[in-house]
Amino acid sequence: MSVTNVLEILQKKVPEAVECQNLDVKFVRGTDPQIKVPSVRVGAVAGCLKEAGFDLLNFLTAVDYLKEERFELIYQFIKTSDPAFSVIVKTDLPRSGSPSLPSIVEFYAAADWQERETYDLFGITFVGHPNPRRILLWEGYPGWPLRKDYVHTLDKYDNGSEIGLP
Amino acid sequence: MSNDKNPISTVDQIPQTTPSFKGGVEPVGRVNETADSLINGPCFETKMERISDHEMLLNMGPQHPSTHGVLRVVLQLDGEVVTKAVPDLGYLHRGVEKLAEHRNYSQFIILTDRDDYLCAMLNNWAYCLAVEKLMKVEIPGRADYLRVISGELNRIASHLLFIGTFGIDIGAFTPFLYAFGREREMILDLFEQLCGARITYNYVRIGGVSNDLPDGWVEKAKSFIVHMRECLKEYDDLLSYNPIFMDRTKGVGVLSKEKAIAYGITGPNLRASGVNLDLRLQAPYGVYSKFSFDPVVRTNGDCWDRYMVRRDEIAQSCQILDQALGDLPAGDIMGKVPKANLRPPVGESYAQLEGARGWLGVYLVSDGTANPYRLHVRAPSFVNLAVLQETLTGWKVADVVAILGSIDIVLGEVDR
Evaluate if residue B177 carries a pLDDT over 50.
Answer: yes
Q: Which amino acid is at A35?
A: I
Distance CA B41, CA B74 (A): 10
Q: Are B356 and B267 in contact (CB under 8 A)?
A: yes
Dihedral class, residue B20 (left if φ above 0, else alpha if ψ from -120 to 50, else beta): alpha
Dihedral class, residue B23 (left if φ above 0, else alpha if ψ from -120 to 50, else beta): left
* Residue B287 CB neighbour total at 10 angstroms: 17
- Gyration radius of chain B over CA positions: 23
Evaluate if residue A158 carries a pLDDT over 80.
Answer: no
Cβ of A134 and B365 within 8 Å?
A: no
Which residues in chain A touch residue B40, judged by CB atoms under 8 angstroms apart?
A: 133, 139
Average pLDDT over residues B236-243: 89
Local confidence band at B7 (pLDDT 50, 70, 90 cut-offs): very low
pLDDT digits (tens, 9 = 90+) for B31-49: 333 334 444 554 444 445 5
pLDDT digits (tens, 9 = 90+) for A9-36: 777 777 777 777 655 655 666 667 788 8
- pLDDT of B187: 92
Q: Are B414 and B387 in contact (CB under 8 A)?
A: no
Sign of CA dihedral B96, B102, B103, B105: positive
B145: domain CATH number is 1.10.645.10
- pLDDT of B34: 37
- pLDDT of B162: 92
Ranked by mean pLDDT, which of B8-17, B42-51, B86-95 comes out on top?
A: B86-95
CB contact B40 to A (< 8 Å): yes
Which residues in chain B touch residue A97, judged by CB atoms under 8 angstroms apart?
A: 23
The nearest CA of chain A is from the CA of B194 a distance in Å of 32
pLDDT digits (tens, 9 = 90+) for A54-96: 889 999 999 998 888 889 999 999 888 888 888 888 898 998 8
CB contact B274 to A (< 8 Å): no
* Residue B346 CB neighbour total at 10 angstroms: 16
Residues whose CB falls within 8 Å of the CB of residue A39, separated by 6 or more in sequence, listed in order: A73, A91, A92, A93, A101, A102
Cβ of A136 and B373 within 8 Å?
A: no
The answer to whether residue B73 sits within a structural domain is no
Q: What is the pTM of this model?
A: 0.84
CB contact B18 to A (< 8 Å): yes
The answer to whether residue B24 sits within a structural domain is no
* Nearest residue in chain B measured CA to CA from A149: B20
- pLDDT of B12: 45
| Residue numbers of A between 63 and 122 with CB closer than 8 Å to B | 63-64, 74, 76, 80, 82-84, 88, 95-99, 108-110, 112-114, 117, 121-122
Q: What is the DSSP letter of B337?
A: -
Q: What is the DSSP letter of B238?
A: I
SS3 B147: helix
Residues whose CB falls within 8 Å of the CB of residue A155, separated by 6 or more in sequence, listed in order: B14
The answer to whether residue B54 sits within a structural domain is no
Q: Using a pLDDT cut of 90, give the percent of chain B over it.
A: 31
Partner residues linked to B334 by β-bridges: B208
The answer to whether residue B112 sits within a structural domain is yes
Nearest C-alpha neighbor of B169 from the set B396, B399, B381, B395: B399
Q: Are B70 and B92 in contact (CB under 8 A)?
A: yes
User: Mean pLDDT of all residues in chain B?
Assistant: 83
- Distance set, CA B304 to CA B172, B194, B248, B276, B278 (Å): 14, 35, 9, 17, 20
CA B96-B41-B15 angle, to 5 degrees, is 60
Cβ of B376 and A143 within 8 Å?
A: no
Q: Are B388 and B73 in contact (CB under 8 A)?
A: yes
- Beta-carbon pairs below 8 A across chains A and B: 160
The answer to whether residue B58 sits within a structural domain is no
The answer to whether residue B127 sits within a structural domain is yes
The answer to whether residue B39 sits within a structural domain is no
3-state helix, strand, coil in chain B (%, to 5): 45, 10, 45
Which run of H or of E encompasses B76?
Answer: strand B72-78
DSSP chain A: --HHHHHHHHHHH-TT-EEGGGT-TTSB--SS-EEEEEGGGHHHHHHHHHHTT--EEEEEEEEEETTTTEEEEEEEEEETTEEEEEEEEEEEEESSS--EEE--TTT-TTHHHHHHHHHHHH--EEET-SS---SSSPTT-SS-TTSTT--PPP-HHHH-GGGT--
Cβ of B24 and A124 within 8 Å?
A: yes
Of A140, A145, A156, the CB nearest to B14: A156
Q: Which amino acid is at A27?
A: F
The order of strands in the sheet holding B359-366 is B347-354, B359-366, B374-378
In chain A the domains, ranked by start, together with CATH numbers, are 3-163 (3.30.460.80)
Which run of H or of E encompasses B116?
Answer: none
Domain range holding B181?
96-378
Distance CA B347, CA B364 (A): 8
CB contact B359 to A (< 8 Å): yes
- pLDDT of A163: 59
Average pLDDT over residues B317-346: 87
Partner residues linked to B58 by β-bridges: B48, B75
Strand blocks (E) in B129-184: none
Of A55, A146, A159, the CB nearest to B6: A159
Distance of CA B235 to the CA centre of its chain: 23
Burial class (CB in 10 A: 0-12, 13-18, 19+), B228: buried
Which run of H or of E encompasses B10?
Answer: none
The answer to whether residue B235 sits within a structural domain is yes
Number of domains in chain B: 1
